[in-house]
Structure 1
Amino acid sequence: MTKPALYATLLRRAGGPLLSLLLLCLALWALHAMATEVTYRQIGAYVHGLPNTDIALAILLTGAGFAVMTLYDWFGLASIGRRLPAKRVGFISFISYAFSNALGMSLLVSGSIRYRFYVQAGLSTGEVARVVLYTTLSFWLGLAALTGVTLLIVPIPADVPLSGLRIPLAILLTLVPLAWFAAAALVRRPIRVGRWAFSTPTPQVAARQILIGALDWGLASGVLYVLMPQEIVGGFGHFLAIFVLAQMAGLISHVPGGLGVFEAVMLAGFGATGNHGLEAPILGSLTAFRLVYYLLPLGVATLMVIWREIRALRHTALITPWFSGLLPPFFAGLTLISGAVLLFSGATLAIPGRMEILRGFVPLPLVEVSHFLSSVVGMLLLILARGLQRRLDAAYVLTLVLLIVGAVLSLLKGIDYEEATLLSLLALALAPAHRHFYRRASLFRASFSMGWMAAIAAVLGCATWLVFFSFKHVEYSNNLWWEFSFHHGGAPRALRALVGATAVVMLFALANLIRPVRTRRALPGDADLARAMPLLKHFSSAQAHLALVGDKMLMFAPDDRAFIMYDIEGRSWVAMGDPVGENEDARRELVWRFREECERAGGWPLFYQVRPEDLDLYLEVGMSLLKIGEEARVRLETFNLDGKSKKTLRGTVNKLARDGLRMEIVPVEDVPALLPRLKLISDAWLRDKKVREKRFSLGLFDERYLSRTPMAVVWQGDEPVAFANVFVTVTKEEASVDLMRHLPDGPSGIMDFLFIEMMVWAKAEGYRWFNLGMAPLSGLQNRRTAPLWSRFGAMVFGRGERFYNFRGLHRYKDKFDPEWEPRYIAVGGGIGLPLALANVASLISGGLGGVVRR
């Protein structure tokens, strides 16, 4: 990769997270500048002094808001003509929004939960995409409508950000939902762009999208409104104008949950109206809003998962595949939040009354050590959250231990029973979930994406800001580090805890930097192929013999229990087929390892021609699946040439047999001596077809490769006229062929003869299936409701004969009455399907030039 390309790749990967970090730092700086006279005690006093009626009303509005959020999914499913049980939709909607609101990673958390749930419920990838598009449009249309109308009606102070652009911004935002509604009302026919057609919704659907989105945001603003100090809540319209601007700024910043950005705009908006001196109550109300609207639903979602896990211990059937699939990222998110809570707690002042109680029976050194270690545990939980997402067994055990340790430390450092309860509940929920964390890989091998590193840096940055905000009136000196006291030791304890947490993350980063360098990838030698031979001979698919070509690198599981064959084209790491091996744990671990190796190298993982029975291997690691064709497999038990439909084949075989043609299976040890004669047939075939050798998913005439498999040879007298190398398995589950060549001037129907004779031979030998290979793009639907890729593939299959004989290949194989099985491509995040297929085509054709040349 050239340097400009490398820099562009790094910019794509790091640009978004680094920009979010920068905006977070700017927001924290603005908050610090606007709240110079505010103390942490003042904010805490306001939160604790809120009337119970206001808190109850805020909780009620939060519940109503989450009920409205459920309508996004409900009507999104209705828009594609699908119906699912309301209880299921409500459960998954609540879980996903509770997490995406708290973490701010809607695509990572809410999107993955939705995808797993709806795919398991029977929706296709295209249908899931349409539901997500519906919900996203409703979300933004509602926000645009509410913000635009509010800004048109309500003036805002001149010091509020974007106040000078209020009217133009209001008009622009209002026009967005109006244009959507007008298109729905006036455009009757699908909008065509080239070959593609896009249908607009009905006016009722468009209006419903806008109203649901606006109601969602209106209820969210109501939660904060009832928590605000009475001195500045004179008019809801003025409050709403500042609220929607602050929310929009938070969303545009891509900072998780808009943390810091939302607070800075809110404080600037209300501070600009002459409410000086009310900064502490405003920040207090914003803190209470975060607790009620973000953390409370998250806690309820956690309890729901705990209850389901407890019930699952007695009723295993309750753990459905989709629910099982979302548990690891669910626990990873909760662990991330728990670590942040411990860090933030260590950065703030303990409650004086509780410290006075603690002083009576806990010695000061134990308090100091507990405070320091609780922040260390918090940082370790942030790191382990990534391991939980990757389903690492070691991460599970360490997290469980650290959650219990953290709960004890929370009580010892300041009787923080709220934190101890949160950590204990998470440990209780995590304890019975060990079966979901089965990977034995090292935590140091787990790759940390830029998003994860940015999240850890953001939490550490917020903790640093909290230390200086909470103790802004303390005079910092060298002696402060060594001050130990119950009453005046808050600042020293917070500083020492912050240094401890920083040291942990730096040591972990250093350990990753100095880990052993990975061995250079190289094509397999004879020793590697010897290691692979027992695995591919016992594998259920004979196509695993493609590893013997030697043009693909091999990645082995520990103890050689499985392997993956792959090659690299550009940034794409393309694995040919499923992991080869009978040990399911080893195969599953290999998929994770392959993806992690790709991410470390900045590549894109792809699995080409995967089978339906192994799709869960790829869904589990967050890959998308798309059908690319069907494979023809003949059931040999029922295979024969009887009946009217086989009349032509029967006649061809009988005629060529009378002409003296015979088929012989040449054993492996006799193949090398025969190859010079077969080379003449191969060269003549290539010249006649005007093609060159393919690779990757197809074999080529290579003496080392062909010497490793038996050979089916058609003889006419003493001369070979056609041949094909044979893939056979020890289990006799399947037989297949790869390289097939014949003399251009040989007898007509010679390949039919070869196939029929090989199937007759395989049936006599006791094989169950004969694999005729894949027909690309066959079996894809061109219906209006089908996914875009399916419709495109079906169109190419029907009209792309000038580029490739799609229909002819399918018809040829279909005359042997095979059973057609779908084959898929599994694509990782960050790569588009066209680029993935271009890279695969380049590998098969031996370079981009081979894609356009035969």
Structure 2
Amino acid sequence: MIVMLVVVLGLLMLSKGVLYRERMTNSWGKNAFNLTIFFVTFLAYVIIGVITHRGGVHSFNMPSFSTGVTWLVGLIGLVIALLVLISVNAYLTGRKPAWLNLPFDGPRIQAIIDEYGGNEVSQLAFLKDKTIFYYQENGDDQVFFMFRAVADKLVVMGEPVGNPDKFSEAIDYFMVQADQQGYRLVFYEINEEMTMLLHEKGFDFIKTGETGLVDVQNFTLAGKRHRGERALMNKFDRDNYSFEILKPPFSSEFIQTLREISNEWLDGKEEKGFSLGFFDEYYLNQAPIAVMKSPEGKIVAFANIMSSGNSSVTSIDLMRSSADAPSGIMDGIFVNLYNQAKDDGYQFFDLGMSPLSNVGTSKFSFFEERIVHIIYEYGANLYSFEGLRSYKDKYVDKWTPKYISYFKGSSLAFATMQVFTIVNRRVDKQRRFKLIKFLSFIDEK
């Protein structure tokens, strides 16, 4: 016995280098496997007990129980074992580090953007529906990541924001911190340059769509390409519709007007978050808002401008119109925003991503990308992928690829499902999530 304990102790000492994780996380695959084992065991035990009780066990040559009490005691034992496993799992997955529950700090985020510039999605940090991970050097913030945890993954929205010279070090540090807690990183909707950097660090990737860029410095309504939009803008001018960009802070009356327009536009549908903005007063107060007004001065459409923090690319997020807005009002906002962006010195206007666009089009594409292409072609009943691409095509001058990057060895199927679980989560569920997260933070304090 002593010899065995010495051997076990020696093996533990040799394994010290790999026993570095501070807590356990549960992947979807492990959960499915464990639940299947318990369910099959439980079901088999119940079936054997029922057959025994009916006296048919001998005809099947199955193990039997001497009495019903014996079977019941065993069943209670299984239930107790399940409760013990749940308790042990709760203990091993508890004690989350502080960085997984950091409270929202808007000024801190804005300070990084002001100093180093942002990107096309950095404004989404102010939605408060994502956790922020900060990378520091000598006590100074250099980079931040926007992410949300699901199972054993930390899904990161877009590229890191901050000092581009520190992106590589920041990613390495984030990977180490996540790994110590049993998590793996998944990056969603990132550009090609970031995808290649992550590939060097052990990540695989799959293309998920393309984002459309309008070259506003060369944008013009002249010519055949935009003759429809030219006629539309002339009509708006004749009818005395006006365009205006308003700067925050906004009054509660103005926000209420936008809320009414938003509710009409949603028509009872729920909003999504994470990679998209949703109607939130704090979020809308972080950047200018473009509006279109009727001849009577009534706001009939609006779009909040995504303040990217750089002088190259600008964009919008929410874009909504009232029920009585004239047809083509969205094009009216777009054309005016292109002209304004040109005057402000921007090179491109980002129209956002067209999901699954131009993915898996070659017969030599990866199998996973071919499946994505099939979804793009035949999934129109669920989501108008091609319609979205077609609408943007009339303006876009340049399409750039976007990717999901996941750690090598992770299941692509699970990683993709986990990303879309987060992306498609409704706003009301997100707010419940934030409340639970806040309460758990208070409890840990």
TM over 0.5: yes
CA deviation digits over 1:45-95, x for unaligned, max 9?
Answer: xxxxxxxxxxxxxxxxxxxxxxxxxxxxxxxxxxxxxxxxxxxxxxxxxxx
CA deviation digits over 1:560-586, x for unaligned, max 9?
Answer: 11100001123321000011012422x
Tell me which residue corresponds to 2:107: 530
5 Å matches for 1:389-400? Answer: none
Match of residue 667, structure 1, among 221, 232, 247 = 247
Tell me which residue corresponds to 1:85: none
Match of residue 656, structure 1, among 224, 233, 236 = 236
Tell me which residue corresponds to 2:383: 804
Query: Are residue 589 (structure 1) and residue 166 (structure 2) matched?
Result: no
CA distance in 2, matches of 1:759, 1:816: 10
Tell me which residue corresponds to 1:726: 305
CA distance in 1, matches of 2:130, 2:415: 17
Match of residue 417, structure 2, among 838, 841, 844 = 838
Match of residue 334, structure 2, among 734, 741, 755 = 755
5 Å matches for 1:407-806? Answer: 518-519=97-98, 521-522=100-101, 524-525=103-104, 528-537=105-114, 538-539=116-117, 541-558=119-136, 559-585=140-166, 587-670=167-250, 672-687=252-267, 690-716=268-294, 717-806=296-385
Aligned residues: 346
Taking a change above 3 Å as real, the CA distance of residues 846 and 731 of structure 1, as seen in their structure-2 partners, is closer
Does the 8 Å contact 2:273/2:427 carry over to 1?
A: no
Does the 8 Å contact 2:122/2:308 carry over to 1?
A: no
Does the 8 Å contact 1:733/1:769 carry over to 2?
A: yes
Does the 8 Å contact 2:121/2:308 carry over to 1?
A: no
CA distance in 1, matches of 2:381, 2:134: 40
Taking a change above 3 Å as real, the CA distance of residues 686 and 599 of structure 1, as seen in their structure-2 partners, is same
Q: One-letter code of the match for 2:396?
A: D
Does the 8 Å contact 2:113/2:309 carry over to 1?
A: no
Does the 8 Å contact 2:265/2:323 carry over to 1?
A: yes
* Per-residue deviation, 1:593: 2.6
* Per-residue deviation, 1:620: 2.6
- State percent identity of aligned pairs: 32
Q: For the aligned residues, what is the CA RMSD?
A: 3.0
Higher helix content, 1 or 2: 1
CA distance in 2, matches of 1:524, 1:613: 31
CA distance in 2, matches of 1:710, 1:560: 26
Highest relative contact order (Cα 8 Å, sep 6+), 1 or 2? 2
Taking a change above 3 Å as real, the CA distance of residues 629 and 708 of structure 1, as seen in their structure-2 partners, is same
Taking a change above 3 Å as real, the CA distance of residues 715 and 692 of structure 1, as seen in their structure-2 partners, is same
Q: One-letter code of the match for 2:328?
A: G
Q: One-letter code of the match for 1:662?
A: S
- Tell me the TM-score normalized by structure 1: 0.38
CA distance in 1, matches of 2:263, 2:278: 11
- For 1:542, what is the secondary structure of its paired residue? coil
Does the 8 Å contact 2:244/2:291 carry over to 1?
A: yes
* Per-residue deviation, 1:848: 12
5 Å matches for 1:263-342? Answer: none
Q: One-letter code of the match for 2:315?
A: S
Q: One-letter code of the match for 1:731?
A: N
CA deviation digits over 1:605-661, x for unaligned, max 9?
Answer: 100011112223311320101111000111111111111011111111111222221
CA distance in 2, matches of 1:811, 1:517: 45
Does the 8 Å contact 1:626/1:826 carry over to 2?
A: yes
- For 2:98, what is the secondary structure of its paired residue? coil
Unaligned 5+ residue runs, structure 1?
A: 1-24, 29-375, 387-443, 450-512
Taking a change above 3 Å as real, the CA distance of residues 704 and 765 of structure 1, as seen in their structure-2 partners, is same
CA distance in 1, matches of 2:261, 2:391: 22
4+ runs deviating over 6 angstroms: 444-449
* Per-residue deviation, 1:518: 2.6
* Per-residue deviation, 1:730: 4.3
Does the 8 Å contact 1:723/1:742 carry over to 2?
A: yes
Larger radius of gyration: 1
* Per-residue deviation, 1:602: 2.5
Unaligned 5+ residue runs, structure 2?
A: 8-12, 26-91, 430-445
Taking a change above 3 Å as real, the CA distance of residues 849 and 790 of structure 1, as seen in their structure-2 partners, is farther
Does the 8 Å contact 1:723/1:741 carry over to 2?
A: yes
Tell me which residue corresponds to 2:63: none
CA distance in 2, matches of 1:849, 1:561: 33
* Per-residue deviation, 1:804: 0.6
CA distance in 2, matches of 1:825, 1:672: 39
Does the 8 Å contact 2:159/2:191 carry over to 1?
A: yes
Tell me which residue corresponds to 1:261: none
Between 1:823-832 and 1:551-560, the stretch displaced more is 823-832
CA distance in 1, matches of 2:323, 2:280: 20
Does the 8 Å contact 1:566/1:574 carry over to 2?
A: yes
CA distance in 2, matches of 1:836, 1:822: 19
Higher strand content, 1 or 2: 2
5 Å matches for 1:93-104? Answer: none
* Per-residue deviation, 1:763: 0.7
- For 1:521, what is the secondary structure of its paired residue? helix
Q: One-letter code of the match for 2:380?
A: E
5 Å matches for 1:152-163? Answer: none
* Per-residue deviation, 1:673: 4.6
